[in-house]
Homo-oligomer: A and B are copies of this chain.
């Protein structure tokens, strides 16, 4: 039975939850398909996550491998294919809790960087797990800066082999998933040397474990890098190579080749490498970042209407904690952000699809914009959502801190997204470089990509808002964001120029502006997010019930941003102190309005209880009952600790006579 405090929240929804879900999915037929996939996965006991919070790293790994291998059978059984429409729902259905994700990157890199012959040889083997691959790029001492990699691959003409070496400890491959315990092969990146000359970093297929008995190949040292903040199910590994010889054919050679006599050939465009990274950054936003924030909001908001604490009004029952303004101010902006980033993800996907069509027609013009946006958004969205999940966790008090709430693992996992696939600060600086360049171009009248044309239309002036309700006008707040982004970009560009003109070397000048460049890049992404949200709401005109609540969320997202970054808007007086009071008042009013629909708004995300895996967040709101039931299953309750016999009994046994 549903907890009555939670049930009552659902009776007053201002819109149809089912319709909102269908709209978010892109149509009711998608919702049906998604539910069918989730159902098929969840009713299969192999995919159960029931005991996940109690398992050791070894147990998690074993279960993840079992799931990966089983999934292949399941897909055949269900008639799902990797290119089918179901595929994107599978990862969501297993909550990412599966092995061999790097094996997929191994396959993708062979597909993209390998010759037709290499693809023909390796892809069929890999797609049936007849080899298990990893992708060994990062080294102990080198991450983002690829040119710094130290692993070497020396071409030996006599034997027609490459000899791979890890010349020192910092050159050890470190972090690659599926490498610590599973992989038989890896794509390893190494500096190519021919006749003593270095040709830079290239990818090589290296066998690391025997297919016979899984023992390490001669010259290979590999293992697991040990415990991490999360990802216990993945065997992130290390790899050291000592004179490991591989045949000449094992260098991935679509774009460059070493010929038998040692001649080095480069062919085709390298820009496509760029594009692969971009793909990964965009695809992770939805699965690894927005979905966890949606889950955290679902858990925290449902819990906040079941949990009662203190009295709002003397003499009354204790209040639902979501009725406190401070609790609304913690959770509802995160809910609005989850929606905002879901829509931004759609925007980026569209941009990506357009770009991809261009590229297939050999037109690479959109790549710089796509790269800048995907970098900046990867950084901005991961950072925002990570902090959002943390806020949700803390807003649930002590019970949020229990692993059984599901929130700790959501947090420790999403945190990694700020680091992998490009460290966020470095990514934001790449966006900033694009913005500065575009700003310079725009100010000299040159054409710039669509997302930055606004840089050309710098209008001085003040925010025209006259009262609170003006700040519920999308044109008013979007323009405020635009103004702020332009100001941050232009003033940093000016500082950069001033420094250079005053004689500071270019690289030093850049370094001295990086704190502000990061601010500018974030402001740009924030602006695009707000603008895209308002456009999404506008397009909704026919779906009145949904449009109204989406408009509220859009307003909340926008005003929360102004309220929390007030300095940027007040700095040059674009928004005055009096106007900031209007922002604050509108913002706080919106909290009370959206609070009424908070539960239906998270219900619309349509997560099953199994997928949330949270004692606090289940659909029925039986929070306390479930915490108690789950706690009893903990291994800490399954044994009498040896601590009693060893340490406590000798002390306590002396007590009896004394009491």
Check A648–B145 contact: CB distance below 8 A: no
Name the B residues within 8 Å of A144 (CB-CB). Answer: 309-310
Check A412–B404 contact: CB distance below 8 A: no
Name the B residues within 8 Å of A62 (CB-CB). Answer: 641-643, 646
Name the B residues within 8 Å of A329 (CB-CB). Answer: 515
- Determine whether A469 belongs to the interface, using a CB cutoff of 8 Å to chain B: no
- Determine whether A588 belongs to the interface, using a CB cutoff of 8 Å to chain B: yes
CA–CA, A252 to B628, complex, Å?
29
CA–CA, A287 to B282, complex, Å?
42
Stretch in A81-89, A542-550, A649-657 with 4+ CB within 8 Å of B: A649-657
Check B58–A182 contact: CB distance below 8 A: no
Report the minimum CB–CB distance from A621 to chain B (whole Å): 13
Q: Which residue of chain B is the closest to A569 with respect to CB atoms? A: B567
Check A314–B423 contact: CB distance below 8 A: no
Q: Given A211-B652, A571-B577, A639-B58, answer yes or no on A632-B326 (Cβ-Cβ < 8 Å).
A: no
- Determine whether A618 belongs to the interface, using a CB cutoff of 8 Å to chain B: no
Name the B residues within 8 Å of A393 (CB-CB). Answer: 415
CA–CA, A62 to B518, complex, Å?
47
Report the minimum CB–CB distance from A578 to chain B (whole Å): 10
Check A318–B214 contact: CB distance below 8 A: no
CA–CA, A329 to B56, complex, Å?
37
Name the B residues within 8 Å of A214 (CB-CB). Answer: 640, 644, 648-649, 652
Q: Given A224-B634, A419-B397, answer yes or no on A326-B515 (Cβ-Cβ < 8 Å).
A: yes
Stretch in A26-34, A127-135, A189-197 with 4+ CB within 8 Å of B: A127-135
Q: Which residue of chain B is the closest to A212 with respect to CB atoms? A: B656
- Determine whether A565 belongs to the interface, using a CB cutoff of 8 Å to chain B: yes
Q: Given A141-B624, A329-B515, answer yes or no on A635-B58 (Cβ-Cβ < 8 Å).
A: yes
Check B419–A401 contact: CB distance below 8 A: yes
Check B403–A648 contact: CB distance below 8 A: no
- Determine whether A497 belongs to the interface, using a CB cutoff of 8 Å to chain B: no
- Determine whether A259 belongs to the interface, using a CB cutoff of 8 Å to chain B: no
CA–CA, A408 to B257, complex, Å?
43
CA–CA, A567 to B566, complex, Å?
4
- Determine whether A420 belongs to the interface, using a CB cutoff of 8 Å to chain B: yes
A-B contact pairs, 14 of them (CB 8 A): A57-B635, A69-B647, A131-B659, A140-B628, A148-B308, A169-B624, A184-B652, A223-B634, A226-B404, A229-B402, A238-B628, A326-B514, A401-B419, A566-B571
Check A309–B566 contact: CB distance below 8 A: no
Given A69-B648, A226-B630, A238-B631, output 18 extra A-B contacts at Cβ < 8 Å.
A54-B226, A54-B227, A132-B648, A138-B398, A140-B624, A144-B309, A144-B310, A145-B318, A224-B636, A235-B636, A312-B507, A390-B390, A393-B415, A394-B419, A397-B423, A401-B415, A515-B588, A570-B570
- Determine whether A457 belongs to the interface, using a CB cutoff of 8 Å to chain B: no
- Determine whether A276 belongs to the interface, using a CB cutoff of 8 Å to chain B: no
Count contacts on A: residues with CB < 8 A to the other chain.
135
Check A182–B226 contact: CB distance below 8 A: no
Check B659–A211 contact: CB distance below 8 A: yes
- Determine whether A362 belongs to the interface, using a CB cutoff of 8 Å to chain B: no
Q: Given A144-B310, A326-B425, A397-B423, answer yes or no on A57-B636 (Cβ-Cβ < 8 Å).
A: yes
- Determine whether A123 belongs to the interface, using a CB cutoff of 8 Å to chain B: no
Check B182–A148 contact: CB distance below 8 A: no
CA–CA, A647 to B129, complex, Å?
10
Name the B residues within 8 Å of A229 (CB-CB). Answer: 401-403, 408, 412
Check A580–B571 contact: CB distance below 8 A: yes
- Determine whether A600 belongs to the interface, using a CB cutoff of 8 Å to chain B: no
| Interface secondary structure of A, over-half rule | helix
Check B567–A647 contact: CB distance below 8 A: no
- Determine whether A228 belongs to the interface, using a CB cutoff of 8 Å to chain B: yes
Name the B residues within 8 Å of A507 (CB-CB). Answer: 312-314
Report the minimum CB–CB distance from A649 to chain B (whole Å): 7
Check B398–A420 contact: CB distance below 8 A: yes
Name the B residues within 8 Å of A400 (CB-CB). Answer: 419
Report the minimum CB–CB distance from A308 to chain B (whole Å): 8
Q: Which of B53, B54, B65, B226 contacts A631 (CB 8 A)?
A: B226
Check B309–A58 contact: CB distance below 8 A: no
Fill in one digit per residue for A171-197: 1 if any B CB lies within 8 Å of its CB, else 0.
010110000111010000000000000
- Determine whether A416 belongs to the interface, using a CB cutoff of 8 Å to chain B: yes
- Determine whether A225 belongs to the interface, using a CB cutoff of 8 Å to chain B: yes
Check A224–B631 contact: CB distance below 8 A: yes
- Determine whether A625 belongs to the interface, using a CB cutoff of 8 Å to chain B: yes
Q: Which residue of chain B is the closest to A207 with respect to CB atoms? A: B659
Q: Which of B307, B408, B656 contacts A211 (CB 8 A)?
A: B656
Q: Which residue of chain B is the closest to A404 with respect to CB atoms? A: B226
CA–CA, A584 to B491, complex, Å?
13
- Determine whether A447 belongs to the interface, using a CB cutoff of 8 Å to chain B: no
